[in-house]
Amino acid sequence: MHVAVQGVGDRTYERDDSDRCEGGRHRRPLREAIDEEEQRHDDDPPTYSEQRAEEACNQTYENEPREHRRIVRSVPHDDLVARLAEAPKSAAILLDVDGTLAPIVPRPEDARVPDEAREELHRLAARYGLVACISGRTGADARRLVGVESVRYVGTHGLELEPEAERWRDPLHDFSATVDWPVEDKGLSVSFHYRMAEDEDAALEYLEEIAERARGAGLVPRFGRKVLELRPPVHADKGTAVRHLLGEGGLRRVLYAGDDTTDLDAFGALDGLELAVRVAVSSDEAPAELVRRADVVVDSPAELLDLLCRL
């Protein structure tokens, strides 16, 4: 098939990928990423059938016309994805989970990685030097959600790799107990979600006050997609996790895909490598900086899967 890639300056490039993914869903037009978050509705996620990886790459999503999916934006002068696929054993595929592999849902516990994505991760793990998920969830929870044993998992934005973070477990728990808001306790970080709040403005105002209190207690607050996360004051993020993983395997060719503010740290960790492909999964809630710094922008986890099938 021909996968159309819209490049900077409205230049269009085509490549023949008859042995890669075909079919899929209509691409939504790329909306301008904005800093002010808006409510995202995922009441009707696509239905996914169980297929092997090669069958998944040729799957048409239910209730959608059959049409080539395409990447929204890519580097105009070079096909970075094709270059990465030329030497897979010396390359790494690093992925965020929520909003990247699993569509965002109102409650984190209801998130689901589609079966097609799982099958594709199985294939990639056998082909590449490293396939890993770097998540804001705990590593154990990310493993449960993704469900692919051959993938490496790093949780709480890389804090699980830093021993000094452990002593902040109790202070985080004690502080969260003083907050009149449902808490997602991840052990080395805590999160307060407001996606389902009746009044988001009031919820955000309250959580901004909590963020100030947290700073006074020596913690590090960070806002993401409809969530406030509190972390220990330890130098650990998705960027340090990326450097750790690549350093273990001596890998200098990598694709990283993410959808939120914390993924900017991972993007920065790819500077200076032999080959780096930064993929932003765009949405109404995606930070503008993430889209600006990406080499490739896709509209959804489904379109990311289409990209992964090319690797």
By C-alpha distance, which of 233, 232, 299, 239 is closest to 263? 239
Q: What is residue 4's DSSP assignment?
A: E
- Beta carbons within 8 Å of 146's beta carbon, 6+ residues apart: 97, 101, 113, 118, 121, 133, 153
Chain CA centroid to CA 67, Å: 25
Which is catalytic among the residues 17, 42, 43, 96?
96
Query: With contact defined as beta carbons under 8 Å apart, do 117 and 103 qualify?
Result: no
Q: Please say whether the beta carbons of 206 and 181 come within 8 A.
A: yes
Burial of 3 (0-12, 13-18, 19+ CB in 10 A): buried
Number of Cβ within a 10 Å radius of residue 222: 18
How far apart, in whole angstroms, are the C-alpha atoms of residue 62 and residue 65? Answer: 8
- Measure the N-to-C terminal CA separation of the chain; round to a whole number of Å: 15
96 assigned to active site: yes
Q: What does 258-286 look like in DSSP terms, one character per residue?
A: E-STTHHHHHHHTTTSSEEEEEEE--TTS
Distance CA 31, CA 40 (A): 13
Q: Which residues are catalytic?
A: 96
